[in-house]
Amino acid sequence: MELNYTVLLKGFLDGEGKLRQFPSKMKAKVPAMYYIASKFEMGKQYSEPEVNSLINSACAFRDPATIRRDMVDNKFLDRSADCRAYKLAGSLPKYPELGIE
């Protein structure tokens, strides 16, 4: 599914296409997580510093830990049992699964 992030995240993206802030409401947070997830390669395993770097590349602010936790909690990223490796979830959640219609 190709999302138009410029429309979905209007007001959250700066002139460089980076998130100015992480939305607090789930209806806006979900497109933001899809936007960040689009920076990851499917099937590739990432270390925590690599995940933080990808998150930071999509954001004009620095809070990768909060975003990383939200992306794991909402099933955008899978995390290994020892919390040392991450990968893009094989099947990204759909809006209804996240309580959004």
State pLDDT tens for residues 52-99.
999 999 999 999 999 999 999 999 999 999 999 999 998 876 655 555
Q: Mind listing the domains of the chain with CATH numbers?
A: 5-98 (1.10.10)
11: nearest Cα among 2, 1, 25: 25
Based on the number of CB atoms within 10 Å of its own CB, is 51 exposed (0-12), middle (13-18) or buried (19 or more)? buried
Residues paired with 87 in a beta bridge: 45, 78
Find where tokens 């599914």 sit: 1
Dist. CA 66–CA 48, nearest whole Å: 13
- Secondary structure of residue 31 in the 3-state scheme: helix
Give residue-wise pLDDT tens across range 4-57: 767 778 889 999 989 999 999 888 888 899 999 999 999 999 999 999 999 999
Q: Which stretches of 1-101 are DSSP H helices?
A: 5-8, 26-37, 48-58, 64-73
